[in-house]
Amino acid sequence: MALTAYDLGDRAAFVTGAASGIGRAGALLLAEAGAVVHCADRDEVGLDETRALITKAGGTAYVHPLDVADRAQVKAALAAAGPVHVVAAIAGVMHTSSVLDTDDVDLDRVLAVNFRGVLHTCQEAARTMIAHGIRGSLVTMASGAVDSARPGLFCYSVSKAAVVQLTKTLASELGPYGIRVNAVAPGWVRTPMTDQHASAQQEQIESMMMRLSPLGTLGRPEDVAHAVLHLAADASSFTTGQILRPNGGVAMPW
C-alpha cells in the first residue's frame, strides 16, 4: 500500500524550471514514479537534456520552452500538454540586494518569475483540472528564506513569502474541487541558480548551514525532489495548505 501511494503511472505532470537544479531533479523523480512529464523552462538546451535523461531511464517527457512570467505562454503550454494531474511550479530566479539598494526594475523582475509565474501556472492548471474533474495536486516552491531575514535577499525573500500565502489561499479555494495545494520550502541547496548568485560566498554559506543543521549536512536537489513527489502523490492525500521544509533541521534565523 505504501509503495502504490507513490505510483504516478496513470498521471501527467507539468514541471516548470525543469531545465536544471531542483526542477530537473523533480521532473526526473516524477518520471521515475511513472508520470508522463511535461518539462517547461526558458532554457531550451537544458530542457532537451532533461528530456534525454528521462527517456534514457525509460520514461516519457515532452518539452515546452516558455517564460512563466508570460501568462499567454503558460496557458498555451498547458493547453498543448492536455489535462495534467500534478503541477510542480519550481521555476525561479534569485537577486541579491539590500532593501535600500533595490529598485523597481529588480523587484518587478523577481516578482514576475517567482510569484506571478507560480500564480500563472497554478491558475491555468487548476482551471483545467476543474474543467476535467481532476482531483489533482499543485506543488509550489517557496524557500527557507521565508522563515528568516537574511540581509541581501530582500526581493527573493518577499517573492517566496508571497508564494506561501498564495499556496495557503489556493488550498482553501480549491479544496472543494479535490485539488490539493502545498509548498516546499527547502534550505540551502547548491544549484546552478545559487552558484550564479552566491559564488563568492558559497563556501561561507554552506559552512554556516552545516553548522546550523543537526544533521551536519547539506541538501541536494534530489532531497527536495522527494518532497515534491510526496506532495504530488496519494501518499499525501490528506495534506493541503502545508509548507514542507526539507532543510536538514535548520530552525535558527540565519
Using alpha carbons only, give the angle 51, 224, 13 rounded to the nearest 5 degrees. 40
Tens of pLDDT, residues 32-83: 999 999 999 999 999 999 999 999 999 999 999 999 999 999 999 999 999 9
Q: Does 156 participate in catalysis according to the annotation?
A: yes
Tens of pLDDT, residues 137-190: 999 999 988 887 778 889 999 999 999 999 999 999 999 999 999 999 998 777
* CATH numeric code, 4-244: 3.40.50.720
Catalytic residue among 6, 62, 156, 177: 156
Confidence of residue 1 (pLDDT cuts 50, 70, 90): very low
Q: Which residue has the cell 532533461?
A: 50
Which has more confidence, 128 or 210? 128
Lowest mean pLDDT among 16-20, 24-28, 208-212, 222-226: 208-212
Residue 103 CB-density burial (10 A; 0-12 exposed, 13-18 middle, 19+ buried): exposed
Which ranges in 57-112 belong to alpha helices (H)?
A: 71-81, 104-111
